[in-house]
Amino acid sequence: MPRRLILLRHAQAAPASLDDFSIEADMARPLTADGQAAALRCGQWLAAQGLHPDAIVCSPARRTRQTLDAVLTACPQTQGQPSFCPDIYEAQPEALLSRIQQTEPQHRTLLLVGHNPGISLLARQLDPLAMALDAGFDPGSIAVFVTLDAGPQSATADWANGVPECLVLHTFTRP
C-alpha cells in the first residue's frame, strides 16, 4: 500500500488586527463562518475519497486547530491523534519536511495542517512538475501526494527514507 501525504492549508481566517502585529494575536485568529464551512467540506471530501489519516501534524494556531476540528467532525474514521507542533507555525518547507520525516514508519497516511507560504512551497518542492499547483494554494486547499510503486527506492521508502524522492502529486483540490 502506498504512503499518502495530505497537505491542508487552514481554511479562511479572520483578518489580522490592524493594531496588534504580535505572534500571539496572529495565533489567536479564528476561522470565519465561510472558513468553518470550507473546513467541513475538506473533511467530507477526505471521507468521500477514503482518506483516513493515521497520523496528524497540526500547527497550534487557532485557525489550524479549528480547521482540523471541522475535518475530524466530517471525517470521523480518522485514526490518528493530532500532534500540535509549534515548529510548523509559519515554517519554511525544510522545517515541514523535517517534521514529515519524523513520522513513525508504521503510519501510512499523514495529514499536515499548516500555513502558507510554507505549505505551497513544500507542495512545489515535492512535485515541481505538477501543473495543478499553478492555480495557487488558497485557504482550504488540499494536496494529496502518494509514493510511487515503481523503482528500487519505493520498496524501502518510509517517511524518513524516501520522502520527498518517492512522492508525486495525486490530487489537488479546494472542496
SS (H, E, C) the chain: CCCEEEEEECCCECCCCCCCCCHHHHHCCCECHHHHHHHHHHHHHHHHCCCCCCEEEECCCHHHHHHHHHHHHHCCCCCCCEEECHHHCCCCHHHHHHHHHCCCCCCCEEEEEECCCHHHHHHHHHCCCCHHHHHCCCCCCEEEEEECCCCHHHHHCCCCCCCCCCEEEEEEECC
| Closest CA relative to residue 8, chosen from 32, 29, 38, 37 | 38
Grid cell listed for 118: 510554507
Specify the CATH number for the domain of residue 163: 3.40.50.1240
Find the radius of gyration of the CA atoms of the chain. Answer: 15
Residue 174 annotated as part of some ligand binding site: no
pTM of the predicted model as reported, rounded to 2 decimal places: 0.93
Find all residues with CB under 8 Å of 86, minimum gap 6, and list them.
59, 60
Query: 124 vs 56, 66, 117, 136, 167, CA distance in Å?
Result: 21, 25, 11, 10, 11
* Binned average pLDDT, 10 residues per bin, the chain of 175 residues: 92 90 92 98 96 96 98 88 93 95 93 96 92 91 85 63 83 94
Quick check: 162 and 146 in contact, CB under 8 A? Answer: no
pLDDT of residue 83: 95
Range of the domain at 83: 4-173
d(CA 149, CA 14): 41
d(CA 134, CA 129): 10
As for how many domains the chain has, the answer is 1
| Closest CA relative to residue 116, chosen from 144, 136, 99, 131 | 136
